[in-house]
Amino acid sequence: MKKQTKAALFGLTLALTSALSMTAFAGDSDKVYRTVDEIKESGTINIGVFSDKSPFGYVDENGDYQGYDVYLGNQIGKDLGVDINYVSTEAANRVEYLKTGKVDIILANFTVTPERAEEVDFALPYMNVALGVVSPDDHVITSLDQIGKDDQVIVISGTTAETYLVKNNPEIKLQKYDAYAEAKTAFENGSGVAWANDNTEVIAFANENPGYTVGIPSLGSNDTIAPAVSKGNDSLLNWLNDEIVSLGKDNFFHKDYEETLLDTYGKDYEDTLVIEGGQPAEASTEAEAAAAETEAATEAE
């Protein structure tokens, strides 16, 4: 019975998987998202945000969502004239939420990358970000070469830091965590020699926790953070782009920064981090060239 059963089992699993994936292809063309009119009609918009990533998206002691991303979310709800249902997302499931239309917008510190742009549609950006690496004061890592072959670097699954290191430094051993809080606890307990994440994160972490230094403040290309909607949801995408441009006229995002980020990053980083009205301040030709390069590389793979 043994050999035959095993073969039969294997065959059955294969058949099941292929059947599932075929139906998956067939279902892809269906519209999963809701247009602006449909959202207004239902009276509620579903927005995916982080619930444990202060100061961008977190829950305060009264159970209310707060932060830089949430500040924008609240404004979107107000301008659409609908109630907001915030959904707690993790870095690793943000794309999935949009692909299934379970949320209308993701406002979870979502970095724009060419790979993600194939899966979701990004609106105009509202923040700048690069990668950074933080390490303990007694062994500051200022260059990736310093990471030995037995050392482990902590990353959060599904973040840009993970993608970047896997692609550009495959020799570095990564220790992956699903939630921000877990990664932080692991790093503080010394499970890894360094922690790679968005530079905003590591700068804030080092500011708040004495004994840690951001040895590498800017790694990789400069990226932007933008709201994202389901692929093909042009109605909501256009509405968001108009919203971001018109909010920029009132310096909305600087106000947002001063309300939510000032305590963490100080006045110095305001103009570096904030993008007002969807227009990155610095000339973005370099970033675009880099993005085009990555895109070409992805296609080649």
Partner 1 sequence: MQSLGLDVLFKGTNFLRLLEGLWVSVRISLISVVISILLGLVAGVLMTSKNIVLKAAFRVYLEIVRIMPQMVLLFIVYFGTTRVFGWNLDAEASAVIVFVFWGVAEMGDLVRGALISIPKIQYESAEALGLTKQQTYLYVILPQTVRRLIPLSINLVTRMIKTTSLVLMIGIVEVLKVGQQIIEANRRTSPNAAFGVFAVVFLLYFLICWPVSRLAGYLEKRWAA
List of residues contacting partner 1 (CB under 8 A) = 5, 8-9, 12-13, 20, 23-24, 27-28, 30, 32, 48, 51-54, 58-63, 66, 87-90, 92-93, 96-97, 99-102, 178-182, 184-185, 188, 208-209, 263-264
Q: Which residue's CB is nearer to partner 1, number 63 or number 170? A: 63
Sheet-wide strand order for 44-50 = 83-89, 44-50, 105-106, 228-230, 120-122
CB of 278 to partner 1, least distance (A): 28
CB burial readout 69-93, b (16+ within 10 A) else e: bbbbbbebbeebebebebbebbbeb
CB of 9 to partner 1, least distance (A): 6
CB of 58 to partner 1, least distance (A): 5
Q: Which residue's CB is nearer to partner 1, number 68 or number 252? A: 68
Q: What is the Cα–Cα distance from 295 to 274, expressed in whole angstroms?
A: 25
Q: Which of 95, 83, 80, 82 is nearest to 48 (CA)?
A: 95
Q: Which residue's CB is nearer to partner 1, number 56 or number 252? A: 56
How large is the C-alpha radius of gyration of the chain? 21
Reduce the DSSP state of residue 230 to 3 states and report it.
strand
Q: What is the Cα–Cα distance from 37 to 182, expressed in whole angstroms?
A: 39
CB of 179 to partner 1, least distance (A): 6
The residue type of 240 is: L
Residue 86: phi and psi, rounded to 5, are -80, 135
Q: Which residue's CB is nearer to partner 1, number 116 or number 184? A: 184
Q: Which residue's CB is nearer to partner 1, number 188 or number 242? A: 188
Q: Which residue's CB is nearer to partner 1, number 157 or number 175? A: 157
CB of 103 to partner 1, least distance (A): 9
CB of 176 to partner 1, least distance (A): 13
Reduce the DSSP state of residue 152 to 3 states and report it.
strand
Q: What is the Cα–Cα distance from 74 to 82, expressed in whole angstroms?
A: 10
Q: Which of 212, 106, 221 is nearest to 154 (CA)?
A: 212
